[in-house]
Amino acid sequence: MRAVKLKKQYLKGFLTCVSGWGELWGPVRRDNRFILEEVDDIGQIDLTALRTQLPFKKLLFPPQFSMFGFDEKGYHTDFSSIPKRIIFGLHPCDIKALLIMDEFFAKQYKDPYYYERRKRTVIIGLSCIPDEKCFCNATDNESATEGFDLFLTDLGDFFLIWVGSSLGDDLVRECPELTDPHIGHADLKKYIEWQRYRSSQFKMDIDLTGMPDIMELSYESPVWEEMGKKCLSCGACTIVCPTCPCFNVEDEFALGKNQGQRMRYWDSCMFREYSMVAGGHNFREARAERLKLRFIHKLQAFVGKFGKPACTGCGRCIGTCPVDIDIYTITKKLQGEEIQV
């Protein structure tokens, strides 16, 4: 992996240069929140954004889309309308989430609807300074080492750009006059100092060490019933989570035309109907059971299968749940700490 420098004043020109590859998406401020949007004017991008309200997954795994159309002759899928996109501004936590979504949708079985979007997407990451909701240090995602094409670290008067793929290298070579391949000792020192400073800024005290064992031993814990009584089953936590992949599939028919389309849309394991089967039986009627399922998946089952939790420490659930049920409160309670929820 090589690195180049980009002076701050050249960022707009650089993004304009690479945006010839495809649509440019980035974090845009809307009132008191950040939204990931397609931008026509580079000046719309807010470099101070910590987390967008909805993560990048809405572009690779849309909230609702047609999988294929069908009629009397068969079915037909059309991927030609999927655009090329550059997603700018993903932080290490979301880049890690992207790798987790790849595990779900593009590794063991290549879901064509995810994969066709994924291969048309360039990822340009951006460094950040954590706030009071961030805990990517607890999930070993404090820095991004893979999963991106380019990654920009803000070192004051310039960005250090890590080149993470051959496509990223091609993009850098598109505008050679804007970057500097010479990284000196002073640049290295500045980078090391920045890393130390960033590590010192975490405020969230959370320890996920040993959580798979704790989850196993806490299967019958009263914590689940306690939290289940507070949970609204609104599904907000799963909507904003960058690694929640649950979906449902329904067929929509055009009456009288002998044709229709198969639709896929986001679903949530927190919804009562999610575990309902034919005949009306529901395996997880109780909210406590649905809550338990979500956290077992995040902190135990995914670790057992892939060796890492399906939580990246982005803090979205902490800022979203109206009754303060999140990774922080659940782990603290299961670890025996007294906290008010």
pLDDT in tens, 263-315: 999 999 999 999 988 888 998 999 999 999 999 999 999 999 888 999 999 99
pTM: 0.93
Size of the chain in residues = 341
Which ranges in 61-134 belong to alpha helices (H)?
A: 92-102, 112-118
What's the confidence (pLDDT) of residue 299?
95
Whole-number Å distance between alpha carbons of 218 and 160:
45
172's tokens: 């850098």
The residues that bridge with 253 in the sheet, in sequence order, are 260
Closest CA to 155 of 124, 204, 190, 207: 190
Q: The tokens 């501004």 sit on which residue? A: 89
Whole-number Å distance between alpha carbons of 51 and 72:
46
- Average pLDDT taken over every residue of the chain: 94
What's the confidence (pLDDT) of residue 341?
65
Dump pLDDT digits (tens) for 202-219.
999 999 989 999 999 999
Residue 50: which residues within 8 A CB-CB, separation 6 or more?
34, 91, 128, 130, 131, 134
Dump pLDDT digits (tens) for 87-140.
999 999 999 999 999 999 988 789 999 999 999 999 999 999 999 999 999 999
Collapsing DSSP states into helix, strand and coil, what is residue 254?
strand
What's the confidence (pLDDT) of residue 337?
80
- Distance, CA of 103 to chain centre: 13
Could you tell me if 97 and 314 are in contact, meaning their C-beta atoms sit under 8 angstroms apart?
Answer: yes
The residues that bridge with 324 in the sheet, in sequence order, are none
186 pLDDT above the threshold of 90: yes
1's tokens: 């992996």
Whole-number Å distance between alpha carbons of 127 and 144:
9
Residues 169-189: what's their mean pLDDT? 94
Could you tell me if 36 and 26 are in contact, meaning their C-beta atoms sit under 8 angstroms apart?
Answer: yes
Whole-number Å distance between alpha carbons of 182 and 160:
11
Could you tell me if 34 and 27 are in contact, meaning their C-beta atoms sit under 8 angstroms apart?
Answer: yes
Whole-number Å distance between alpha carbons of 68 and 48:
39
Could you tell me if 161 and 5 are in contact, meaning their C-beta atoms sit under 8 angstroms apart?
Answer: yes
Phi, psi of 68 (to 5 degrees): -165, 160
Q: How does residue 258 score in pLDDT terms, banded at 50, 70 and 90? A: confident
Residues 144-154: what's their mean pLDDT? 96
The more confident residue out of 37 and 1 is 37
Strands (E), the chain: 2-7, 23-30, 33-38, 64-71, 74-76, 85-90, 121-126, 150-154, 158-163, 179-180, 247-254, 259-266
The ranges assigned to domains in the chain are 2-199, 211-334
Dump pLDDT digits (tens) for 315-330.
999 999 999 999 999 9
Dump pLDDT digits (tens) for 72-97.
889 999 999 999 999 999 999 999 99
What's the confidence (pLDDT) of residue 230?
96
Could you tell me if 217 and 255 are in contact, meaning their C-beta atoms sit under 8 angstroms apart?
Answer: no
Residue 170: which residues within 8 A CB-CB, separation 6 or more?
none
Backbone Cα Rg of the chain:
22
The more confident residue out of 11 and 254 is 11
Query: Taking the CB of residue 251, how many other CB atoms lie within 10 A of it?
Result: 10
Residues 136-151: what's their mean pLDDT? 94
256 pLDDT above the threshold of 90: no
Phi, psi of 22 (to 5 degrees): 180, -175
Residues 133-161: what's their mean pLDDT? 95
